[in-house]
Amino acid sequence: MGHCSWGRRWHRGAYGYGYGSGRMLTGVAWAVLLLSLWIWGRDGQVPGAVPAPATGDVAAVGRPLGVPLPPSRTPLNSTAAAGTPRRIEIPSLGIEGPIVARGLDAAGAVDPPPYTTPDTVGWYGAGARPGAEGAAILVGHVDTKTEPAVFYGLSSAKPGGKVRVTRADGKTAEFTIDDVQVVERDRFDAKKVYGSHEKSRAELRLITCGGTFDRATQAYTANVVVSAYLTGVS
């Protein structure tokens, strides 16, 4: 299972084989979050350090040799309301849009933004806030039945790229991408994907669907998972 958008594919390539039809049930598309949410719910914390990506289970861009990455910044201390994310920008990918808090649907999965707002990113509001310690989860559709959506270009992310998240307190938390993976749906390990890569660090996970579109199951075969960590605040 994996995060996925539904509807027809817009192009041939990394995401699919042209147009597909129909929509997949929300509970199936987003149920991959359920395991990690259950883990968090046990102690209110994001899981700890994650081992290196397993070979064979993922296709990873990872961190190419020779790409210098800045040091991490101390996580922000803020009240819950102050840390609420409002907007995201990824300048190198031309991605920008509002962020809204989302909860769980009737199936126990994270409820994504509706298709009427395809340029909106969903943030799991019961988890970490962007800029605070832990791994904050941001999810977005790659497309709808009729058009590309907010995370359509996410698979082109590269280590060293910047992600800016504007918060309710007026601060903009700047994150640096340090890992990009395409995780096969059938081998999705929620604890590894959502766990913090380094203890006491503020991190982001940006997630959309990837792989190819399986017309038989009306689902995508993988997830694009972009990881980033806090490197600046303005």
| Confidence band, pLDDT 50/70/90 cuts, at residue 69 | very high
Condensed to tens digits (0 to 9), the pLDDT of residues 10-64 reads 433 333 323 333 333 333 344 444 444 444 443 433 333 232 333 333 344 455 5
pLDDT at 171: 95
Q: Does residue 221 have a pLDDT over 70?
A: yes
pLDDT at 63: 54
Q: What sign results for the dihedral spanned by CA atoms 188, 23, 107, 216?
A: negative
**How would DSSP label each residue in 169-183?**
TS-EEEEEEEEEEEE
In residues, how long is the chain?
A: 234
* Percent with pLDDT over 90 in the chain: 45
pLDDT at 108: 54
Q: 72 Cβ partners below 8 Å, 6+ apart?
A: 198, 201, 202, 229, 230, 231
Mean pLDDT of 68-91: 92
Burial pattern 6-35, b for ≥16 Cβ within 10 A else e, equals bbbbbeeeebbeeebeeebebebbbbbbbb
What architecture (CATH level 2) is domain 26-57+69-233? Beta Barrel (2.40)
Condensed to tens digits (0 to 9), the pLDDT of residues 106-121 reads 755 567 788 889 999 9
Q: Count helices and strands (H / E) in the chain.
A: 3, 9
Report the predicted TM-score, pTM, of the whole model to 2 decimal places: 0.76
Higher confidence at residue 44 or residue 86? 86
Higher confidence at residue 53 or residue 233? 233
Lowest mean pLDDT among 178-182, 209-213, 216-220: 216-220
Question: Average model confidence (pLDDT) for the chain?
Answer: 75
For the record, the structure tokens of 25 come out as: 């049930």
pLDDT at 172: 97
Mean pLDDT of 148-161: 94
| Confidence band, pLDDT 50/70/90 cuts, at residue 190 | confident
Q: In terms of DSSP bridges, do strands 85-90 and 172-184 run parallel, antiparallel, or are they unpaired?
A: unpaired
Q: Does residue 103 have a pLDDT over 90?
A: no
